[in-house]
């Protein structure tokens, strides 16, 4: 592997990826990770091709020291970095923690903006400049690979920034980072800062320049890419963009932007992009930070389409609405989310995927019921469609159909139901009370379709999650040694119950006809002479 410390190994158009999920990312309030979790993340970053893993801030705590030390010993390919302020004890502690690393890097920083120097450091610029030299020299006594950062670099006066950068390189820094610590810069300005510093600092060719962007204005990725255009060749970023306040530039977004728009961003890197989703899931799991649904690259909607027009386009040619393949980031496949905006084309494809082939009329009926369901439910899951089609198939050729149902339920009994059925084209209604709404419905059915079958099983389960989930009701009826089970599905449990019971009666009649064709159904006879 090319050492990021060796300028000769880095081609002019190769950018090195410096991941700081375990340092800047872990600094996000609430994102702390255990040692084992950090080791798991570091291992994955290393496998994914990250060039430098910033493992932590060794002086910050005993735990941070131990994790940097353990990661330094674990990681096989990447350089491991430890952060240090411009203080002897910080630098020595970082040097100690990094012992055993394949390519240890000390990353030391000091504020250079007038605001930070005056209020935070309470130091004169010349004192800060002297510290830049002395601390980089101290870090070089521990390791060859030293990064120096000008904290609040984007709000630093250009002349002073150039003097600091020159001093850091002279003292032995091999990477110079100009962070946008407070997420304040804009792309053109950041690009200009890099161009100016690289042009004005006489020894700038002896270091790699680095971008480090925070996302306070939502510009972290755009600024990062602009910095690269300005001459930076190291990108500091984090998985899922976690980091201080609004976070850092997201690694997955930067890397996929470079890959997808290589025509205008001709910079290569070593990241195995098919591992991006895995990394995102791992970091989200260990930090308990959810990934927003519409997050670029790794959000659950990033490769999901619901609108009928988009789904139709996707089925004809995926490039119509996708600029990168889901597989390229480790997502198995595009998902056509079935909802109220989905069209016939996608519905038919979905049925095919689920193993159903319906005739034109059945398809049309199923589509109508699907649209009806989608109007009442945010997402229609595969299981919902299966339940709906199974219900549809079960109802084909049915002699009795549920037309209308109104129920009075709640604590103020008696519960009652008013049910209208279509029995072989004739509509009949009945109102009944019962011991609960389901009992009231079944009493109506008994009154409208008198029968001797006994209810053996009544079972309800939610097909999917959420309060808007479809209820699937199973009913088993037994009569004269024959048993039938049927299901009814609907977001309304009571409608599903009526449907299930009627479906079971329909099945029972089919069974009766099959075994004793001469027999007239006792139930139907009572109302259909
Ligand atoms: O944002 C920042 O300035 C930093 C430095 C420590 C590099 O994280
Ligand atoms: Zn930062």
| Closest among 457, 484, 451, 489 to 470, alpha carbons compared | 489
- pLDDT value at residue 67: 97
Atom 3 of ligand 1: nearest residue by CA position: 181
- The segment(s) of the chain belonging to CATH 3.30.160.270 are 398-527
Rounded to whole angstroms, the Cα distance separating 137 from 162 reads: 18
Instruction: Note whether 86 and 135 are within 8 A (CB).
Output: yes
Band of pLDDT at residue 470, cut at 50, 70 and 90: confident
The ligand with the least distance to the CA atom of 153 is 1
- Residue 303 CA to ligand 1 centre (angstroms): 33
Question: Ligand 1 center to residue 71 CA distance, Å?
Answer: 21
Residues of the chain with CATH 3.20.20.70: 17-287
Q: What spacing in Å lies between the alpha carbon of 181 and ligand 1's midpoint?
A: 6
| pLDDT tens digits, 278-312 | 999 999 989 989 899 999 999 988 998 888 889 89
Query: What pLDDT sits at residue 13?
Result: 92
Average pLDDT over residues 77-101: 98
Q: Say whether pLDDT at 86 is over 90.
A: yes
pLDDT score, position 337: 87
State the distance from the centre of ligand 1 to the C-alpha of 101, rounded, in angstroms: 22
* C-alpha distance from residue 70 to each of 2, 38, 117, 524 (Å): 23, 9, 34, 77
Q: What is the pLDDT of residues 168-210, one digit of tens each?
A: 999 999 999 999 999 999 999 999 999 999 999 999 999 999 9
Ligand 1 lined by 57 (C-beta under 6 Å) = no
151 lines ligand 1 (CB under 6 A): yes
| Ligand 1 atom 8 nearest Cα | 24
Say if ligand 1 is within 6 A of residue 109 CB: yes
Classify domain 398-527 at the CATH topology level: Double Stranded RNA Binding Domain (3.30.160)
Predicted confidence (pLDDT) at residue 510 exceeds the cutoff of 90: no
Residue 151 Cα to ligand 1 middle (Å): 6
Ligand approaching nearest to the C-alpha of 149: 1
Contact 489, 472 (CB under 8 A): yes
- Rounded CA-CA distance 174/20 in Å is 18
Tens digits of per-residue pLDDT, 375-430? Answer: 888 778 877 887 777 666 555 567 899 999 999 999 887 899 999 999 988 999 99
d(CA 128, CA 13): 33
Q: Which helix (H) or strand (E) holds 309?
A: helix 308-316
| The pLDDT value given to residue 527 | 32
* Highest mean pLDDT out of 9-18, 190-199, 321-330, 360-369: 190-199
- Topology of domain 17-287 in CATH is TIM Barrel (3.20.20)
This prediction's pTM: 0.72
Whether the predicted pLDDT of 165 surpasses 80: yes
What is the number of the ligand closest to the CA of 107? Answer: 1
Residue 179 in contact with ligand 1 by CB distance below 6 A: yes
Q: CA 40 to CA 286: how far, in whole Å?
A: 9
């Amino acid at each position: 592997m090319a050492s990021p410390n060796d300028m000769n190994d880095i081609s002019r158009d190769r950018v090195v990826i410096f991941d700081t999920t375990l340092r800047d990312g872990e600094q996000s309030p609430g994102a702390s990770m255990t040692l084992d979790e950090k080791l798991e993340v570091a291992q994955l970053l290393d496998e994914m091709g990250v060039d430098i893993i910033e493992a932590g801030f060794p002086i910050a705590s005993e735990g941070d020291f131990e994790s940097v030390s353990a990661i330094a010993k674990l990681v096989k390919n990447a350089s491991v970095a430890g952060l240090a302020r411009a203080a002897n004890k910080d630098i020595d502690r970082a040097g100690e923690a990094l012992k055993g690393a394949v390519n240890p890097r000390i990353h030391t920083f000091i504020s250079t903006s007038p605001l930070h120097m005056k209020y935070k450091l309470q130091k004169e610029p010349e004192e800060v400049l002297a510290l830049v030299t002395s601390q980089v020299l101290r870090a070089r006594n521990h390791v060859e690979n030293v990064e120096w950062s000008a904290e609040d670099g984007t709000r630093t006066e250009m002349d002073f920034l150039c003097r600091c950068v020159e001093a850091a390189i002279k003292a032995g820094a091999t990477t110079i980072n100009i962070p946008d610590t407070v997420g304040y810069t804009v792309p053109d300005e950041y690009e200009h800062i890099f161009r100016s510093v690289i042009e004005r600092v006489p020894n700038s060719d002896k270091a790699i320049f680095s971008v480090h962007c925070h996302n306070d204005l939502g510009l972290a990725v755009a600024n990062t890419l602009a910095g690269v255009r300005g001459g930076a060749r190291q990108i500091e970023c984090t998985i899922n963009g976690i980091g201080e306040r609004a976070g850092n530039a997201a690694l997955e977004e930067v890397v996929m932007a470079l890959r997808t728009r290589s025509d205008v961003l001709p910079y290569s890197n070593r990241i195995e992009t098919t591992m991006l989703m895995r990394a995102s899931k791992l970091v989200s799991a260990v930090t308990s930070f959810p990934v927003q649904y519409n997050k670029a690259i790794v959000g659950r909607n990033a490769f999901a389409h619901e609108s009928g027009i988009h789904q139709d386009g996707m089925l004809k040619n995926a490039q119509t609405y996708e600029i990168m393949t889901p597989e390229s980031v480790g997502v198995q496949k595009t998902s056509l989310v079935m909802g109220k905006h989905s069209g016939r084309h996608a519905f038919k494809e979905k049925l095919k995927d689920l193993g159903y082939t319906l005739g034109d009329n059945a398809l049309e009926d199923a589509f109508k019921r699907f649209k009806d369901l989608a109007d009442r439910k945010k997402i229609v899951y595969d299981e919902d469609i299966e339940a709906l089609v199974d219900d549809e198939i079960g109802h084909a050729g049915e002699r009795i159909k549920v037309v209308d149902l109104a129920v009075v339920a709640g604590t103020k009994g008696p519960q009652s139901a008013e049910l209208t059925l279509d029995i072989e084209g004739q509509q009949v209604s009945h109102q009944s009370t019962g011991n609960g709404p389901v009992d009231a419905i079944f009493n109506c059915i008994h009154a409208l379709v008198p029968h001797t079958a006994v209810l053996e099983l009544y079972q309800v389960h939610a097909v999917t999650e959420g309060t808007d989930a479809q209820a699937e009701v199973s009913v088993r009826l037994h009569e004269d040694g024959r048993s039938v089970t049927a299901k009814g599905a609907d977001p309304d449990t009571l409608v599903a119950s009526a449907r299930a019971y009627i479906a079971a009666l329909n099945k029972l009649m089919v069974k009766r006809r099959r075994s004793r064709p001469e027999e007239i159904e006792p139930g139907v006879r009572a109302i259909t002479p």
